Structures are given as C-alpha cells and as structure tokens.
Amino acid sequence: MASEKYFERTAASVASLGRDELKRQIRDFKGRFKLDFTENYLDNLGVDRLRHILLAALISAKRGN
C-alpha cells in the first residue's frame, strides 16, 4: 500500500512539471544509476516522453531502497 501511495504522489508530482524542470531533473538525477542523455536528445523529446523517463527513473530508484 505504501508503494502505491508513493507511485500516486510521484506520478502527480511529475505530471505537474514543465519541460524545463523535467529536463533539469533528468539531467541532475541522483540515484543508484546514472541517466546519461544529451541536451539535444532531451530537446527533441515530447513532454510526455520526458515525464515517462523521469517517472520510470524515480520508481526504479525507489525499488532499490
């Protein structure tokens, strides 16, 4: 149940972010693994795809804890 609440809160938080903040959080992601995307690559993605990348990273990082 706690993981479901974490997912809901995290998904809502990520959904509220704009393009620039999504890109910043992806570039500055600090977790068990590194996200290594070029600025050009991120610039060419849609906002929904950026949200998907960040949410997946956050959920995956949480599972490792």
Question: How does pLDDT run across 6-60, given as a tens digit for each residue?
Answer: 899 999 999 999 999 999 999 999 988 999 999 999 999 999 999 999 999 999 9
Tell me what pLDDT residue 1 has.
56
Tell me what pLDDT residue 10 has.
95
Tell me what pLDDT residue 65 has.
60
4 pLDDT higher than 80: yes
Tell me what pLDDT residue 3 has.
82
Which two three-digit tokens encode residue 62?
């949480």
Contacts of 42 (CB under 8 A, 6+ apart): 23, 26, 27, 50
Tell me what pLDDT residue 64 has.
60
User: 30 and 58 in contact (C-beta within 8 Å)?
Assistant: no
- C-beta neighbour count of 39 within 10 angstroms: 9
> How far apart, in whole angstroms, are the C-alpha atoms of residue 29 and residue 32?
10
